[in-house]
């Protein structure tokens, strides 16, 4: 294919990615960019050209050995829920933006450790980035059938690298705060992950079903080839050991590769996205690997005896069949895999380079004096140049150093180097005793062994492949043979290097950590990292710091990096969170930590600490004191919680008291009103009696008939008086619990009839209609008949009072249920004032405007009814219905 055309296609493709990144950046938090699938797919930045081309090379040369690199992450995933969530939380609260920040902060915010991690990452990743550029370049030349030009400036791949470098440096530095999310990059990477998988699967289907007749056909033909059997077994225990080491290697890499740390932790928006990732990402890897084997062995069959690089089978197979379209698709897939890796890696590396190396060791002093705008600009500029240089450096590295290495070998070396961060990294999260000295010495020892067992030999072999060094070892000590250190001769170079370097790394890390005391700051962060869940909501509280600091000084420092507005906003949020008076002058540990956090995203943890230290005066604290403070802060958290609970209880109690008081006041008022009514009610018959008696006493001429009438009045009124007194006493007895009910079996239909008969006179006087079916079937259960008669009489006489003469209708019905029985007394009089529906059953209740209107009855009847029904464990209530009002009560069949 003409290289001009391909270049155009490439530019279009890059343009599309620009567009996607731009779009996602604008969409910000829309559900298209902020969802678990984008997150999971962005993790597939793990699959680089190594996967795309290299795996096929490995499968073609040595069978199954491409698998362990994917098994490690798959095995790691169940543990993700546990480990990753913890790391995400730690990183979120501390505003961590890279693995260098993470490790250095944990070990006492150590500037040196941050720089060390940065350097190691650079050593590991730069060649790896170079490897991607190499893949782009090589595949470009294969697709276009053009030779690689020895003149860098005439080689098209140079310009591809330049464009990439520009893209990454522009997009990777949109925010000064490195802990900000980069939606554009993440979405573009996720998109590329989809494309590279899609194109790879299309290729797989093409090779398996169009070039060959399915999996079986490939297998049949391949199994006839030389050394097929040997290549496709694990090769016994020794092979198994190799496998295990490779699995460990990739297990570490999925956490430790700076780009994986960046994608899975810094770019994580929601913890719950992990839940999708733990199934989607392994599935992704599985899909990617399904066709590796058929393509590799298909290539072996097709190119048997020809001298071609099996890494390039993916392109060579479609090309062999003159399928240009398929060739370009595969090329674009590989290109996607490469640029994702290059862009993300260069962004993270340049952040580390600026925040953990250049700023803390170089320009911090000058930043300290400048204003926010200049500082932000400078930081961004440093990063931008960093990214650009990184990619160019990687390009140079590829052009002049690694031209001849296979994709996988360079990648593997990267992995082994990065794995040296493993002990310090995992120790950071799970082991409180791990110390800065331990971490530094472990990493350095591991790196030295790495250098000796793998980097040095590889460099040497490219210069002088026949060097005696490989056979005789260092200075002729065979025990120091680089590939068989201490006589370990059955591991391949990579697993071998990993084994020894990790072993010594871990041992040194642990031994040094337990042998020397950690300083208080390390111990403090150890606590905050390992027990992150305890401090997640107020981690500033867990930070131990004693000394003198002025808020205004800290504010000044913050303004230099955050600007006036953001600083003030952040501080007011802080004061609100901890309930601090807005005008306080002295800063405490919480503000110191808070300020460090604010700066961390801009200039890294170590520089943040240095800056804050420069304006505060810290007192020395001993380790035991730190432990004591931490213990206290834990207790404080518990006490705080208890206090909050108690205060809530008190609030509850006081509101209950208020309510009780209000209801008492109301009761008191009702009681006064009741007394008024009762005395009025008592006085009325007495008045009548007194008047009649006086007439009888003073008047001798009174006619006999009239005399009799007056005497009769006296008798009636006396009875009335007596009944009233009975009612009051009745109520009093019920209320104080002295009145018992005596349930015996009765028939409620009969009881209602009994209640109605004494009222017949009243009913016919008022000429109203009372409806009750006396012939309905008997309902038998236990209740105090005398009392229930009292209730029904009361309800019906009330109903009679409230209905109008002649047009009045009263309907009594019974509704039987499984558990209880309901009696309804309806009348078509005017309804009850809705406000009074409940209170009419209160004993002191009189209608609100009773002051001026004569109450009907003593105001005791319904209160007594309620007492009686409640003594039966039933309920009584009133409700306004259409055309009238219904009083109902229930009686449980079993008391």
Task: Name the site residues for another protein (rule: CB under 8 A).
Answer: 676, 679-680, 683-684, 686-692, 694-695, 698-699, 702, 706, 709-710, 713, 716-717, 852-856
Residue with tokens 């409230």: 802
Six token digits for residue 292? 């590796």
Nearer residue to another protein within complex by CB, 17 or 692: 692
| Separation of alpha carbons 295 and 297, rounded Å | 6
Shortest Å distance, C-beta 688 to another protein: 4
Alpha helices in 353-401, H assignment, sequence order: 364-369, 372-400
Shortest Å distance, C-beta 853 to another protein: 6
Shortest Å distance, C-beta 680 to another protein: 4
Nearer residue to another protein within complex by CB, 540 or 717: 717
CA atoms within 13 A of residue 674's CA, in its CB half-sphere: 16
**Edge-to-edge strands, sheet with 809-816:** 769-771, 809-816, 820-827, 884-892, 876-881
Nearer residue to another protein within complex by CB, 174 or 720: 720
Shortest Å distance, C-beta 672 to another protein: 10
Q: Which residues fall within 8 angstroms of residue 598, CB to CB, at 6 or more apart?
A: 95, 558, 561, 562, 567, 570, 608
Contacts 24+ apart (CB under 8 A), 878-884: 878/832, 878/837, 878/840, 878/841, 879/837, 880/831, 880/832, 880/834, 880/837, 881/826, 883/828, 884/809, 884/826, 884/827, 884/828, 884/829, 884/831
Q: Tell me if residue 739 falls in helix, strand or coil.
A: coil
Alpha helices in 401-492, H assignment, sequence order: 407-419, 422-430, 436-450, 456-463, 469-472
Nearer residue to another protein within complex by CB, 551 or 721: 721
Nearer residue to another protein within complex by CB, 11 or 695: 695
Q: Tell me if residue 488 falls in helix, strand or coil.
A: coil
Among candidates 394, 354, 346, which has minimal Cα distance to 185? 346
Nearer residue to another protein within complex by CB, 576 or 695: 695
Contact 611, 597 (CB under 8 A): no
Residue with tokens 């997009």: 171
What H or E segment, with its residue span, contains residue 136?
Answer: helix 111-144
Shortest Å distance, C-beta 710 to another protein: 7
Contact 348, 175 (CB under 8 A): no
Calculate the CA 766 to chain-centre distance: 74
Shortest Å distance, C-beta 686 to another protein: 5
DSSP letter, residue 808: -
Q: Tell me if residue 769 falls in helix, strand or coil.
A: strand
Nearer residue to another protein within complex by CB, 309 or 693: 693
Residue with tokens 């111990």: 523
Nearer residue to another protein within complex by CB, 639 or 695: 695
Shortest Å distance, C-beta 859 to another protein: 12
What H or E segment, with its residue span, contains residue 547?
Answer: strand 547-549
Shortest Å distance, C-beta 684 to another protein: 6
Among candidates 524, 519, 513, which has minimal Cα distance to 627? 524
Nearer residue to another protein within complex by CB, 586 or 852: 852
Nearer residue to another protein within complex by CB, 499 or 710: 710
Shortest Å distance, C-beta 718 to another protein: 11
Nearer residue to another protein within complex by CB, 16 or 725: 725
Give me the torsion for CA of 263, 266, 270, 274, rounded to 10°.
40
Shortest Å distance, C-beta 695 to another protein: 6
Rg of the chain on CA atoms, in Å: 45
Six token digits for residue 863? 């209160």
Shortest Å distance, C-beta 865 to another protein: 22
Nearer residue to another protein within complex by CB, 713 or 839: 713
Shortest Å distance, C-beta 763 to another protein: 20
Contact 371, 338 (CB under 8 A): no
Nearer residue to another protein within complex by CB, 320 or 856: 856
Shortest Å distance, C-beta 674 to another protein: 14
Shortest Å distance, C-beta 869 to another protein: 28
Nearer residue to another protein within complex by CB, 25 or 681: 681
């Amino acid at each position: 294919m003409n290289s001009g055309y391909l270049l155009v296609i490439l530019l279009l493709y890059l343009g599309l990615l620009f567009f996607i990144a731009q779009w996602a950046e604008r969409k910000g938090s829309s559900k298209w960019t902020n969802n678990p699938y984008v997150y999971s797919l962005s993790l597939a930045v793990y699959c680089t050209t190594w996967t795309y081309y290299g795996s096929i090379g490995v499968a073609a040369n040595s069978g199954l050995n491409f698998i362990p690199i994917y098994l490690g992450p798959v095995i790691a995933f169940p543990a993700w829920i546990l480990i990753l969530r913890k790391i995400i939380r730690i990183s979120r609260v501390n505003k961590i933006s890279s693995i260098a920040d993470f490790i250095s902060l944990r070990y006492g915010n150590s500037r040196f450790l941050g720089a060390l991690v940065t350097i190691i990452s650079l050593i590991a990743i730069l060649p790896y980035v170079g490897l991607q550029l190499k893949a782009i370049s090589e595949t470009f030349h294969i697709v276009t059938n053009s030779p690689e030009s020895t003149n860098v400036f005439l080689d098209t791949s140079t310009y591809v690298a330049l464009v990439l470098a520009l893209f990454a440096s522009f997009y990777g530095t949109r925010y000064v705060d490195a802990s900000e999310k980069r939606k554009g990059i993440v979405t573009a990477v996720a998109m590329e992950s989809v494309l590279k998988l899609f194109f790879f699967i299309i290729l797989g289907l093409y090779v398996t079903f169009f070039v060959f007749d399915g999996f079986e056909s490939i297998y049949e033909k391949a199994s006839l080839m030389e050394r097929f059997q040997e290549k496709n077994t694990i090769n016994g225990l020794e092979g198994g050991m190799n496998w295990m080491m490779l699995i460990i290697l990739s297990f570490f890499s999925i956490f430790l590769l700076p780009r994986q740390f960046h994608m899975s932790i810094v770019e994580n928006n929601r913890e719950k996205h992990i839940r999708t990732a733990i199934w989607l990402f392994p599935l992704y890897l599985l899909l990617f690997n399904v066709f590796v084997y058929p393509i590799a062995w298909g290539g072996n069959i097709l190119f048997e005896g020809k001298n071609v690089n099996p890494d390039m089978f993916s392109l060579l197979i479609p090309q062999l069949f003159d399928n240009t379209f398929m060739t370009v698709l595969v090329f674009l897939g590989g290109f996607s895999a490469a640029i994702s890796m290059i862009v993300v890696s260069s962004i993270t590396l340049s952040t580390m380079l600026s925040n953990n190396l250049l700023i803390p060791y170089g320009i911090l002093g000058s930043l300290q004096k400048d204003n926010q705008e200049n500082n932000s600009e400078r930081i961004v500029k440093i990063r931008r140049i960093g990214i650009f240089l990184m990619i160019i450096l990687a390009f140079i590295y590829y052009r002049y150093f690694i031209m001849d290495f296979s994709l996988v070998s360079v990648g593997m070396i990267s992995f082994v180097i990065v794995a040296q961060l493993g002990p310090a990294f995992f120790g950071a999260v799970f082991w409180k005793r791990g110390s800065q000295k331990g971490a530094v010495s472990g990493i350095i020892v591991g790196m030295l062994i790495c250098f000796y067992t793998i980097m040095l030999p590889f460099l040497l072999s490219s210069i002088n492949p026949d060097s005696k060094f490989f056979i005789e070892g260092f200075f002729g000590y065979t025990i120091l043979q680089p590939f068989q250190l201490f006589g370990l001769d059955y591991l391949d170079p990579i697993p071998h290097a990993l084994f020894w370097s990790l072993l010594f790394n871990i041992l040194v890390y642990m031994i040094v950590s337990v042998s020397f005391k950690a300083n208080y700051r390390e111990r403090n962060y150890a606590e905050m990292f390992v027990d992150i869940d305890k401090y997640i909501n107020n981690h500033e509280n867990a930070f131990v710091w004693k000394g003198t600091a002025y808020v205004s000084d800290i504010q000044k420092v913050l303004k230099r990096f955050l600007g006036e507005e953001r600083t003030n906003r952040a501080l007011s949020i802080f004061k609100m969170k901890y309930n601090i008076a807005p005008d306080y002058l002295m800063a405490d540990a919480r503000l110191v930590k808070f300020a460090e956090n604010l700066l961390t995203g801009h200039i890294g943890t170590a520089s943040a600490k240095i800056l804050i230290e420069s304006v505060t005066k810290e007192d020395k604290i001993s380790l035991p004191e730190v432990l004591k403070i931490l213990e206290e802060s834990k207790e404080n958290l518990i006490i705080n919680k208890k206090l909050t609970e108690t205060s809530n209880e008190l609030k509850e109690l006081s509101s209950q008291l208020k309510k009780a008081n209000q209801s008492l006041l109301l009761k008191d008022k009702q009681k006064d009103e009741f007394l008024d009514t009762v005395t009025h009610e008592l006085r009325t018959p007495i008045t009548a009696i007194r008047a009649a008696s006086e007439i009888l006493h003073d008047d001798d001429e009174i006619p006999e008939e009239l005399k009799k009438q007056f005497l009769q009045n006296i008798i009636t009124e006396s009875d009335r008086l007596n009944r009233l007194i009975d009612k009051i006493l009745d109520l009093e007895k019920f209320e104080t619990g002295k009145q018992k009910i005596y349930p015996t079996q009765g028939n409620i239909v009969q009881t209602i009839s009994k209640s109605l008969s004494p009222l017949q006179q009243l009913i016919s006087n008022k000429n109203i209609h009372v409806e009750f079916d006396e012939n309905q079937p008997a309902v038998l259960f236990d209740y105090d008949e005398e009392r229930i008669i009292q209730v029904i009489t009361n309800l019906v006489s009330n109903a009679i009072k409230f209905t109008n003469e002649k047009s009045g209708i009263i309907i009594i019905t019974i509704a039987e249920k499984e558990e209880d029985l309901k009696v309804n007394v309806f009348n078509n009089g005017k309804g009850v004032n809705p406000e009074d529906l409940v209170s009419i059953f209160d004993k002191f209740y009189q209608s609100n405007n009773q002051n001026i209107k004569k109450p009907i009855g003593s105001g005791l009847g319904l209160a007594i009814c309620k007492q009686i029904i409640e003594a039966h464990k039933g309920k009584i209530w009133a409700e306004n219905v259409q055309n009238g009002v219904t009083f109902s009560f229930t009686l449980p069949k079993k008391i």
